[in-house]
Structure 1
Amino acid sequence: MKLSTIIPLLPLASATPTQQARPHPSLNKYPGLDILAKRAGLLYFGTAIDNVVLNNSAYISIAHNSSEFGQVTPSNGQKWMYIEPSRNNFSYSMADAIVKPAIRARQMRRCHTFVWHNQLPAWLEGGNWTKAELTGVLENHIRNEARYFGNGCYAWDVVNEAFEDDGSFRDSIWLRVLGKEYIELAFRFARKYVGRRVRLYYNDYGIERVNVKSKVVAAMVKDFIDRDIPIDGIGLQAHFTVGRAPTYDDVKAALNLFIPLGVETALTELDVRIQLPDSLEKQALQAQVYANSTKACMDVGDCVGVTVWDFWDPVSWVPETFPGYGNACLFDDGLKRKQAYYAVSDVLRDDGE
């Protein structure tokens, strides 16, 4: 997700009739999602937070409510273009604006991401690097960022989206200069500098079904383990669309691809976009996708948690990236809980009782 326009602190608008959250008969009986997730055996239920909305106090009061979200991911602030905007010049202010309040709120942090093909600074993307030079740049970046955040991250998304949908390696400066070994290098450097307690994840989209891509990722994990390359987890991003989303069985089967390999899994960027205009019927389908995805994680032994890719519709990445789609989150424009929120709450509560 790319950084977009700053959201001003404005009075919260009322939702349109088709966007109204479904009234729930026992709302007062519902604790936050993270409390329910822990009761159901997960480590956390979390959210991503972007810097564009940090001036909205109503939003922040929910984002850093640890009973609702026990884990936080900075959407953008830890990506290369913001951490190292010029060579060997490191800036942590964007990340700190999210990480430090999360620490005060006693929320776990998933840190995101050391290596990606996107959101790279011009000095890096446009450089004429030798293999040795770019290897040094990669190690230097991971060393500085890892040492700054120390052991404060539960997990790091070490490499993000290295494969195309057909299972081939995605074209990037990393692949062109370093070859496919860049993935292995990143994990070795990450382990060297973050310490033993932090989980090292590979993170990708489109692996929430058993398909060519998910099988290639599983093969990579097996190869890494066979060769003692450190890897601890697989993040299934879970960016879904109403009408085309994986079923409960699909997601569960994909998660189960990785369990025999001895790594943990997580749904790391869950959202469910709707083709606009919205309707109550589409919201009901969206709620079922959220519930199915959460339930699949709960029912797979080593799936540790679910993170939504922000929880408030106005700051979702979806409308900018997928024109004609939106309303992908758990809370509507007026920061009211949607049907999807209650569906997740129900499935977590039912399992925890």
Structure 2
Amino acid sequence: MKPARLIMTLFTAVTLSVPLASTASAAPETGGHHDTLRWAAPRGFHIGSAVAGGGHHETQPYPDPFTSDRPYRQVLGAEFSSVSPENQMKWEYIHPERDRYNFGMADAIVRFAKQNRQVVRGHTLLWHSQNPEWLEKGEFTKDELRAILREHIRTVVGRYAGRIQQWDVANEIFTDSGALRTTDNVWIRELGPGIIADAFRWAHQADPRAKLFFNDYNVESVNAKSDAYYALIKDLRAAGVPVHGFSVQGHLSLDYGFPGDLESNLKRFAGLGLQTAITEVDVRMTLQAGGVPTEAQLRQQADYYQRMLTACLNVSTCCSFTIWGFVDKYSWVPVFFQGQGAATVMWNDFTHKPAYDALRSTLAGRR
């Protein structure tokens, strides 16, 4: 176990012994119930955020945001009707050793969601990244590896049966060229593409009420990668595999143009009888010296957020729009994209950027 993970595990064990407070009281910059994103949203439409924790946060000079930052929790509960664990349900976090699960943080998030009348998106069950060392470097037979995945899915999905609305079952299984990840995805490499259908079947058996999704980045447009998903999902559904949804992540950058065919792309997946969603939205930008965005950058960022949300709202099956964190100080972007940042809808003190106002006005316009 990494030293940082060990410290965080001990910290979490103590912190979670005290129930996380409900967030019915006013949170910073919410201005009251009627000024929040979740209030502005149309009935039945979920506006969500990732719950900061795990992953890159463990190397940063601050304690776990979800358990330590009360104002953060207040805003999370007040503003959003859906939450997604950012890292706390990924393999390396929730299944750190072959015979041991770490459910503490995932349990706390699900409990928090219930307290705040939120739904939960589970993330994620089959992925090539953030797997524990014991899994990636283990010398398992094909039968053993298949049994490990089946047991993991049944254990994790079954634990939260009836409490998770959507699951990202298979995450990022194609390259940008539309080829299956047969090199870096341990499951596909060792067990073949048929394991994808099995993962959906096992998840459905563990929780028949949860909606099961494919999820990926760079699939906002009609391109080789989204075409590969379209063909695969069409085949799987024809074979009776319980695939219920397709979601685009929405990690965009001002350095690139907006995916203008996002709406039409979502509509073609809806035409397969699927639910659709936008699940990990942020809009990063290259920052000048000092790290402060220009007014022009903030306007363009707000435009990108608004256009993504509008595309989702224009598709009848797109009922979930999730931003990948709402405050810059906990964003993953500066850690992974050198010189870039300011990707979320709030400043570090939880005051609103133009992007927040654009989301809220767009939601309110559809009530």
Q: TM-score, normalised by structure 2?
A: 0.85
- 2:152 is matched by which residue type in structure 1? H
1:150 aligns with 2:161: yes
1:257 aligns with 2:272: no
* Runs of 4+ that moved beyond 3 A: 3-6, 27-30
1:52-67 correspondence runs (5 A) = 52-54=64-66, 55-65=68-78
Deviates more, 1:174-183 or 1:318-327: 174-183
Partner of 1:169: 180
Partner of 2:335: 320
Relative contact order (alpha carbons < 8 A, sep ≥ 6): 1 or 2 greater?
Answer: 1
Deviates more, 1:264-273 or 1:183-192: 183-192
1:34 aligns with 2:46: no
Partner of 1:208: 220
Partner of 2:281: 270
Whole-angstrom distance in 2 between the partners of 1:177 and 1:340: 43
Partner of 1:21: none
Deviation at 1:29, TM superposition (A): 10
Partner of 1:45: 47
SS of equivalent to 2:301:
helix
Alignment counterpart, residue 250 of structure 2, candidates 238, 245, 249: 238
- 1:32 is matched by which residue type in structure 2? T
Partner of 1:128: 139
Whole-angstrom distance in 2 between the partners of 1:224 and 1:269: 25
User: Mind listing any 5+ residue stretches in structure 2 that lack a counterpart?
Assistant: 9-30, 54-63
- 2:189 is matched by which residue type in structure 1? R
User: What does the per-residue CA deviation read over 1:95-150, in whole Å, with 9 as the maximum and x for residues that have no partner?
Assistant: 12322111111111111111111111111100122221111000000111112111
- 1:241 is matched by which residue type in structure 2? S
Alignment counterpart, residue 211 of structure 2, candidates 172, 196, 199: 199
User: Mind listing any 5+ residue stretches in structure 1 that lack a counterpart?
Assistant: 7-26
Deviation at 1:89, TM superposition (A): 1.2
SS of equivalent to 2:221:
coil
User: What does the per-residue CA deviation read over 1:68-94, in whole Å, with 9 as the maximum and x for residues that have no partner?
Assistant: 200000101111111111112112012
User: What does the per-residue CA deviation read over 1:288-308, in whole Å, with 9 as the maximum and x for residues that have no partner?
Assistant: 000000000000111111000
Whole-angstrom distance in 2 between the partners of 1:176 and 1:221: 20
- 1:34 is matched by which residue type in structure 2? R
Deviation at 1:30, TM superposition (A): 5.7
Whole-angstrom distance in 2 between the partners of 1:28 and 1:60: 15
Check the 8 A contact 1:74/1:99 in 2, yes or no: no
Aligned residues: 326
Partner of 1:20: none
CA-based RMSD: 2.0
Deviation at 1:246, TM superposition (A): 2.5
Partner of 1:73: 84
1:184 aligns with 2:188: no
- 1:154 is matched by which residue type in structure 2? Q
Whole-angstrom distance in 2 between the partners of 1:86 and 1:294: 39
Deviation at 1:314, TM superposition (A): 0.6
Alignment counterpart, residue 96 of structure 1, candidates 98, 104, 107: 107
Whole-angstrom distance in 2 between the partners of 1:308 and 1:245: 19
Check the 8 A contact 1:287/1:341 in 2, yes or no: yes
Whole-angstrom distance in 2 between the partners of 1:29 and 1:107: 15
Deviation at 1:31, TM superposition (A): 2.6
SS of equivalent to 2:261:
helix
Whole-angstrom distance in 2 between the partners of 1:344 and 1:88: 44
Check the 8 A contact 1:239/1:271 in 2, yes or no: yes
Whole-angstrom distance in 2 between the partners of 1:221 and 1:127: 31
Whole-angstrom distance in 2 between the partners of 1:317 and 1:176: 28
- 2:150 is matched by which residue type in structure 1? E
- 1:47 is matched by which residue type in structure 2? S
SS of equivalent to 1:158:
strand
- 1:71 is matched by which residue type in structure 2? S
1:350 aligns with 2:362: no
Residues 245, 316 of structure 1: alpha-carbon distance in 2 compared, 3 angstrom cutoff: farther
Partner of 1:15: none
Whole-angstrom distance in 2 between the partners of 1:283 and 1:348: 19
1:140 aligns with 2:151: yes
Whole-angstrom distance in 1 between the partners of 2:242 and 2:73: 35
Check the 8 A contact 2:42/2:364 in 1, yes or no: no
Whole-angstrom distance in 2 between the partners of 1:266 and 1:82: 25
Partner of 2:11: none
Whole-angstrom distance in 1 between the partners of 2:358 and 2:71: 23
SS of equivalent to 1:323:
coil
Q: TM-score, normalised by structure 1?
A: 0.88
- 1:36 is matched by which residue type in structure 2? A
SS of equivalent to 1:85:
coil
